[in-house]
Amino acid sequence: MSYLVLARKYRPRNFSEMVGQEHVVQALTNALTQQRLHHAYLFTGTRGVGKTTVSRILAKSLNCTGADGQGGITATPCGVCPACTDIDAGRFVDYTELDAASNRGVDEVQGLLEQAVYKPVQGRFKVFMIDEVHMLTNTAFNAMLKTLEEPPEYLKFVLATTDPQKVPVTVLSRCLQFNLRPMAPETVLAHLSTVLAAENVPADAGALRLLARGARGSMRDALSLTDQAIAFGSGRLEEATVRQMLGSVDRSVVFSLIGALAAGDGKAVVDLVEQLRAAGQSAATTLEDMASVLQRMAVQQAVPDMPVDETDPDAQETARLATLLPADETQLLYSLCIHGRAELGLAPDDYTGLTMVLLRLLPFKTGAAPQASAAAEKTLKPAEAATARAASVAAASPAVRVDAPAVAPPVVPVAQPAAPEPDESPPTTGATMAASRRPMPSPRANRRSKMPATSCRWRRPWPSTRPCSRCRCARRCRAPFKRKNRLQRPPRGRRQLLKS
C-alpha cells in the first residue's frame, strides 16, 4: 500500500478533531445544531490552517445520514454513512471542489453554476467549494453574484482564500466570513505529539519544539516538516538532526551571543560569529533565533511574575538573560536583529553583516555613552561644540530653565538667545541685508509683474471713464477678447434682425 503523508492521513474528519480553530468550530456547530444555516461561507487564513478541512466537514455535516440512514443535519458527522465516506474519499457527486487558481475564467464559473439548477443527486445539499477564490477574474466574480445572493435552497457555497483583500466587496457582503487563525506553536506541538504517538515514532521534546516553531503557524507545514525529519533521522526525531535539517542555530550560541552583548564584550561577539561562520550556520537564522529569544526576554521583563514553562529547557536561560540585559537594550537589540536581516544582503558577506548588526548595540550601551559623546564632539568645530555644549546644558539642567524667566521677559523662549534668526533681526550690516534680500528680478519681468497696467491692449489709457471700444475691457486686457466678443455677440442673422 502506498504511503499517505501525515498531513493527509491526519486531516481532521470532524469538528472535534480540529485544533486551534475553536472560534470557527463553535460558530459552525451552533449553526448546524440550530439549523440556522447561511448559504455562503468564506474561510480565510494562511496556508495549512484548515480551510479545506472545515469545508469538507461542513459538507459532511450537511449530508450525513447517520449510521442507520435516518439522521438529519448534524454537527457530528458519523463518518460511516455513504455520504461521509464518499466525501472523505473525494467521490461525492454533490460536493464539487473548484480550484479557482487554475479555473479562473467566466466559462469555468458558468460551467459550475449551470449545475446549480439541478437538485442534489445523492445527498441533501449540493456544496460548491471554490478554493483560492481570490484568483477568479472580475467577470467570473460578477457572473457568480446573482446565484451567490439567492441560491436555490439545496445549494451551499463555501469559498476559501488566503487573500481576502482581493475578493470584491460585492462577494464579501454575500458571505459569512470566518478568519482561521495561524496556529500557536504550543498547539502545533501538542498535535505533533499525538500524531507521532499514533505513528509510533520516538521523538524528543526539543525536536518537536523546533518543528513547531519552524511551522510558522501552519499545521500542514508542521506535518510536512515532521515527515521530512522522520526520513532524515531514519525513523527517529532527535533535536540535533532536526536542527541540522532546519538549519537552525544551536540555542547555546544564541544565548552566548546575547550574554556577550549584555556584558558589552565585543571580542566574544566577534569570536562567536567566527564560530558560526566555521560551522556554516546561517546568519539570517541566527538573527531570527536571537529575535525570538529577545522577545521572550522582553515579555519576562514586562511581566516578571509570569509562570515559567518547566518543560522548556530554554526557559531558565531566558530568565537569567532577562535579568542581565536592561529592558531598553533588549528592545533595541530586538529591533537591531529584525532590521538587520534586511541588511545582510547589502553587506559584503553575511557574517560581516551579522558582526556589524550585533556590534551596533555596544555604542548604545549606557556605559559607553560619555565616550561616544566625546567622540562626537571631536568632529565638531570648537565654536559649534561650545554652542552645542551650551544648548545641551540649557536643555539638561533645570536650574537654568528656572532662572531664565527672572532675567528675560516670560514670552521669550529659553532657547532663543543662543541662536538669533538673521532674517528677523533688523538689517544693521551689509552682510545681513544681502542675505535677506531676494534675487533681483530683471527689469522686464518686474515691469510685467509689479507695475500697474496703464493702458489696455489697444493702448487706450487706463483708468478710463468708459470701457475700451475695441476689446471692451474695463481695466486690463487680459481676457481672450476675441473669444469673449464672439460669445457675447448675437448670431449673425439675429444681429441683422436687430439692426433692422
Give the interface with Zn ion as residue ranges (CB under 5 A).
64, 77-78, 81, 84
CB contact set of 354 (below 8 Å; sequence gap of 6+): 273, 276, 283, 286, 287, 340, 344
**DSSP reduced 3-state for 368:** helix
* Closer CB to Zn ion, 7 or 84, in the complex: 84
* Closer CB to Zn ion, 63 or 161, in the complex: 63
| Locus of grid cell 466559462 | 107
Please report how close the Cβ of residue 361 comes to Zn ion at its closest, in angstroms.
Answer: 60
Please report how close the Cβ of residue 21 comes to Zn ion at its closest, in angstroms.
Answer: 21
Please report how close the Cβ of residue 18 comes to Zn ion at its closest, in angstroms.
Answer: 17
For Cα atoms 356, 362, 368, give the angle at the middle one, nearest 5 degrees: 145
Is 300:319 a contact under the CB 8 Å cutoff? yes
Of 50, 31, 48, 55, nearest to 128 (Cα)? 55
* Closer CB to Zn ion, 85 or 432, in the complex: 85
Please give the Cα distance from 256 to 37 (Å, whole number).
Answer: 56
Please report how close the Cβ of residue 92 comes to Zn ion at its closest, in angstroms.
Answer: 11
Angle, helices 251-263 vs 314-324, to 10°: value is 10
Please report how close the Cβ of residue 14 comes to Zn ion at its closest, in angstroms.
Answer: 9
Number of C-beta neighbours around residue 277 at 10 A = 16
Please report how close the Cβ of residue 33 comes to Zn ion at its closest, in angstroms.
Answer: 16
Is 225:188 a contact under the CB 8 Å cutoff? no
* Closer CB to Zn ion, 12 or 353, in the complex: 12
* Closer CB to Zn ion, 77 or 217, in the complex: 77
Please report how close the Cβ of residue 69 comes to Zn ion at its closest, in angstroms.
Answer: 9
Please report how close the Cβ of residue 126 comes to Zn ion at its closest, in angstroms.
Answer: 17
* Closer CB to Zn ion, 24 or 84, in the complex: 84
Cα distances from 66 to residues 14, 92, 114, 293, in angstroms, run 13, 16, 30, 50
Please report how close the Cβ of residue 91 comes to Zn ion at its closest, in angstroms.
Answer: 15
For Cα atoms 133, 187, 160, give the angle at the middle one, nearest 5 degrees: 5
* Closer CB to Zn ion, 123 or 340, in the complex: 123
* Closer CB to Zn ion, 81 or 225, in the complex: 81
Please give the Cα distance from 167 to 134 (Å, whole number).
Answer: 5
Helices assigned H by DSSP within 150-184? 169-172
Please give the Cα distance from 19 to 218 (Å, whole number).
Answer: 12
* Closer CB to Zn ion, 84 or 253, in the complex: 84
Please give the Cα distance from 305 to 436 (Å, whole number).
Answer: 63
CA end-to-end distance (rounded Å), the chain: 109
Q: What is the phi/psi pair of residue 58, to 5°?
A: -65, -40
